[in-house]
Amino acid sequence: METSKPKKTVAPRTPMPCQPAAVRRGNFKEVALGYTREMALQEAARCLQCKKPLCVTGCPVEVPIRDFIHQVAQNNMDAAYRIIKSTNSLPAVCGRVCPQEHQCEGKCVLKAKGQAVAIGRLERFVADTYIATTACEQVTGTNACSLPLDGKKVACIGSGPSSLTCAGVCAAAGIRVDVFEALHEPGGVLIYGIPAFRLPKSVVATEIDGLRQSGVEFHLNSVGGRTVDVADLRKDYDAVFIGVGAGLPTFLGVPGENLVGVFSANEYLTRVNLGRAYDFPTQDTPAFPGKNVTVFGAGNVAMDAARTALRMGAESVHIVYRRTKAEMPARLEEVEHAEEEGVQFAMLSAPLRFNGNAELHLTSVTLQKMELGEPDASGRRRPVPIAGSEYDMSTDLAIVALGTRSNPILLEATPDLAQTQRGYIQVNEETGETSIPNVFAGGDIVTGAATVILAMGAGRRAGQEIVRRLRG
């Protein structure tokens, strides 16, 4: 009589140690403290090492996930890092801010049991452990970068995740890369948009320093469409990559939105992050103070803004959203962290108007209660106003986090660049090439506001195509 083999039991997912909520809401230090080596080895041992790793199909940059986790389980972090860097230019960033639960971890076989392998946490551990290695060693596994190709040059406009990835791919192939950044500090949304408690600025700086070591040069205060022109760059460079993001904020369109105290999330987060207002008065760029703060929207940017406002001294912070928590697009981890820190949620509420005093300073917002009706085009149930349900909420700082649109500056300066109906750059999806030969684009200026890792995937595809052409 045959006896069935006992099923392999899988250990529960290794939890991530974090700062206590009561402590972290008073500082801008990183919330998630990272795995210890023992934790990383324990979590890596949970991986089933599938013959056909579905997790890779969920990764926009196709990191060989099974292979790097195998090396972690063997306590070989150098090899694990080189495997990750073979496709991912910014692993320390991705390990912190990527929505792994919807991507690589979402495809993990163990998710059926409710606890996917913590791929993102392992990626972060490996990157943090090996981050001091030079970019040349990271990419090639040797002590020298690829030999430069005589006369071959690539220009990248913007220095966000898409451009940085494209630059990394090209530089690893020995091609000279110049990155032109509009602001006074490189990093794009990684610097001005994501708060330090989620992505420390030192981590971004280290990743960028790695690119510098591989030969990438950064030119700051260079605005695409103004001080840097696509047509001029085409004369001097063999290929141009456009990764300027989508930084034009979307507003509510309700009365009173021009009152003092109403900000877009872009402006508020830029003042705090890029201006280092969180370190005032050591840094001399203060942010607008708010005691009672309301944030409109329910994505990751809304969570960032709400949690930032708490740390900047707000007495109360409310997230105002037209639907329920079940429909919120933000990462579950970010929502949970916000709740733990004291952010309150005003669900099924929509703003009707902002109210101010005689000096035109914001004092309150009038909200209307909603109920969910039939599903709309997004598949979510449509919010429907409830008649006679208006109420006022006191607020002296309102932050609108409803997404962004394409910034028209570069597009208007490049009229022969084909655009989509939504006003973004039109590209070949496989190569990232635009309507102008050897001019490529990727990231939010192509897709609209999306994730860091999707932008990196676009930068990688374009970089690979550029390398193929210039090496051809």
pLDDT one-digit tens code per residue, 254-263? 999 999 999 9
> Is the pLDDT assigned to residue 142 strictly greater than 60?
no
> Is the pLDDT assigned to residue 415 strictly greater than 60?
yes
Structural domains in the chain plus CATH codes: 31-131 (1.10.1060.10), 148-247+406-471 (3.50.50.60), 248-403 (3.50.50.60)
What residue type is 181 in one-letter code? E
**Tokens, residue 132:** 């001091």
Place of tokens 């969180």: 278
Q: Tell me if 449 sits within 8 A of 441, measured CB to CB.
A: no
Q: Tell me if 327 sits within 8 A of 216, measured CB to CB.
A: no
Q: Report the b/e string of 421-455 with b at 16+ CB within 10 A.
A: eeebbebeeeebbbebebbbbbbbbbbbbbbbbbb
For 163, 218, 407, 410, 463, the CA distances from 243, given in Å and listed in that order, are 5, 14, 11, 11, 12
For position 99, what pLDDT does the model report?
Answer: 93
Question: Cβ neighbours of residue 132 under 8 Å, at least 6 residues apart?
Answer: none
> Is the pLDDT assigned to residue 134 strictly greater than 90?
no
Q: What is the pLDDT of residues 432-457, one digit of tens each?
A: 999 999 999 999 999 998 999 999 99
Exposure of 357 by Cβ count < 10 A (0-12 exposed, 13-18 middle, 19+ buried)?
A: exposed
**Tokens, residue 121:** 């946490």
